[in-house]
Amino acid sequence: MNRELLKFLVFSLLVLLAPLLFQGGYLMNVLVFVGINTMLAIALNLLLGYAGQISLGHAGFFGLGAYLSGILTATYGWNPWIAMPLAAVTVGLLAFLIGFPILKLKGHYLAMATLGLGIIIFIVFNETIELTGGPSGLSGIPNLSLGDFKFDSDIRNYYLVWSFTLGTVLLSLNLAASRVGRALRAVHDSEVAARVMGVNARLLKVQIFALSAVISALAGSLYAHTMTFLAPSSFGFNFSVELLTMVVIGGLGSIYGSFLGAALLTLLPEFLRAAHDYDIVIYGGLLMAMIMFMPGGLVRGIPDLLRRFAKRGRAGHA
């Protein structure tokens, strides 16, 4: 059997069985967030790890998806199953349009422009009080349901969110292995060389930006319907940085790395409840340490480290 497929099946099996370990309980709820954050980290990684384009505004797309879904269902009484794809498509279109001017920028400038975009979106969430409820938030968002089956408990939400997450993983693995994935890596390494080889780098970057926004918006919708309450503070600059940290810690250009980063950064604060005020110190320190000592992220760094130890061990014996 294909090795990649095997890996994916093992991963899916683990996801399927995980609730058996944490029968109910508070941790189940955290695992729902791990799923949502994994989707977001993968979305950002497609852009940053594969195409080499940074975004510090992804919390904005996440929030747009969440609020569109939330407003359509809570205020206007739409069916969530219609609101969700509509939100995703709308955010995707917006990203596509904005992608053309914004992705003309490179490096630091792109980082600043996406950051600005994210902050503008955040300010709009806060200020359009009649739509979003402003700083006090939007409540009364319905759970998703299939017929009479309502996704209203942690365990049900877990399977709901993770089916989307697994779908995202599968899609991204396929994308990375496809012609498009190779073109993306070419753009990452040298945009000029890629263009010479006939890759429409400009369009490709915008497309991946839009796809990344669609996945983020979808994650946002899922967040809205599992939480049933939204407040702007979840979608600020800090969350964009948190997403960036997940991607960098897990490993740029690695789908499973994104899961690892998302899981670590979502679970860590739960276990470090006592160190609550220290968490931003830890995030900052982690980000810097990873870039300095493990630029490949955990997925590449840990095997590297083990190999180095193994080598040293052998040299010691000789």
Partner 1 sequence: MQLDQLLQYVLSGLSTGAIYALIGIGFSIIYNATGIINFAQGEFVMLGGLLTLSCLNLLQLPPWAAVPCAVAAATVIGLLFERLAIRPLRKPTPISLVIITIGGSILIRGLAMLVWGKDTHSIPPFSGDEPIAVGGATILPQHLWILAITLVIVVINRFYFYHTISGKAMRACSYNRTAAGLVGIDVQRMVLFSFMISSAMGAIAGIIVAPLTMTAYDVGVMLGLKGFCAAIIGGMSSGLATVVGGLILGILESLGAGLISSGYKDAIAFIILLLILFIRPQGLFGKAESERV
Nearer to partner 1, 203 or 288 (CB): 288
Question: Considering only residues 11-50, where is the footprint of partner 1 by CB under 8 A?
Answer: 48
Any idea which residue has 């384009």 for tokens? 53
Q: Please say whether the beta carbons of 124 and 249 come within 8 A.
A: no
Smallest separation, CB 158 to partner 1 (Å): 30
Taking CB under 8 A as the criterion, the residue among 104, 182, 307, 311 binding partner 1 is 104
Stretch near partner 1 under the rule CB under 8 A, chosen from 4-12, 75-83, 162-170, 274-282: 274-282
Taking CB under 8 A as the criterion, the residue among 18, 28, 94, 119 binding partner 1 is 119
Integer Cα distance of 35 and 5 in angstroms? 20
Helices (H), 71-147: 80-102, 107-127, 129-132
Q: Does 295 bind partner 1 (CB under 8 A)?
A: yes
Taking CB under 8 A as the criterion, the residue among 25, 284, 303, 313 binding partner 1 is 284
Q: Please give the DSSP secondary-structure letter assigned to residue 141.
A: P
Smallest separation, CB 260 to partner 1 (Å): 17
Tokens of 39: 């989707």
Question: Considering only residues 177-206, where is the footprint of partner 1 by CB under 8 A?
Answer: 192
Smallest separation, CB 216 to partner 1 (Å): 19
Q: Please say whether the beta carbons of 263 and 298 come within 8 A.
A: no
E-strand ranges in the chain read: 138-139, 145-146, 149-150, 229-230
Q: Does 267 bind partner 1 (CB under 8 A)?
A: no
Taking CB under 8 A as the criterion, the residue among 112, 197, 272, 305 binding partner 1 is 112
What binding mask, one character per residue, do residues 227-246 give for partner 1 by CB under 8 A, x or -? ----------x---x--x--
Q: Does 108 bind partner 1 (CB under 8 A)?
A: yes
Nearer to partner 1, 154 or 191 (CB): 191
Stretch near partner 1 under the rule CB under 8 A, chosen from 23-31, 115-123, 148-156, 209-217: 115-123
> What DSSP letter does each residue of 4-26 carry, written as one string?
HHHHHHHHHHHHHHHHHHT-SHH
Q: Does 286 bind partner 1 (CB under 8 A)?
A: yes
Nearer to partner 1, 131 or 286 (CB): 286
What binding mask, one character per residue, do residues 123-142 give for partner 1 by CB under 8 A, x or -? xx-xx---------------
Nearest to 28 by CA among 218, 159, 207: 159
Taking CB under 8 A as the criterion, the residue among 31, 83, 248, 299 binding partner 1 is 248
Nearest to 137 by CA among 152, 126, 151: 126
Q: How far is CA 79 from CA 36, 67, 146, 231, in A?
A: 21, 15, 11, 21
- 96, with CB counted inside 10 A (0-12, 13-18, 19+), is middle
Q: Is the dihedral of CA 180, 91, 70, 244 positive or negative?
A: positive
The set of residues, in sequence order, having a beta carbon less than 8 Å from that of 261 and lying 6+ positions away, is 41, 245, 246, 247, 248, 249, 250, 251, 297, 298
What binding mask, one character per residue, do residues 48-87 give for partner 1 by CB under 8 A, x or -? x---x-x-x-------------------------------
Q: Please say whether the beta carbons of 48 and 209 come within 8 A.
A: no
Nearer to partner 1, 104 or 182 (CB): 104
Q: Please say whether the beta carbons of 31 and 21 come within 8 A.
A: no
- List contacts with partner 1 (CB under 8 A): 48, 52, 54, 56, 101-102, 104-109, 111-113, 115-117, 119-120, 123-124, 126-127, 192, 237, 241, 244, 248, 277-278, 280-288, 291-292, 295
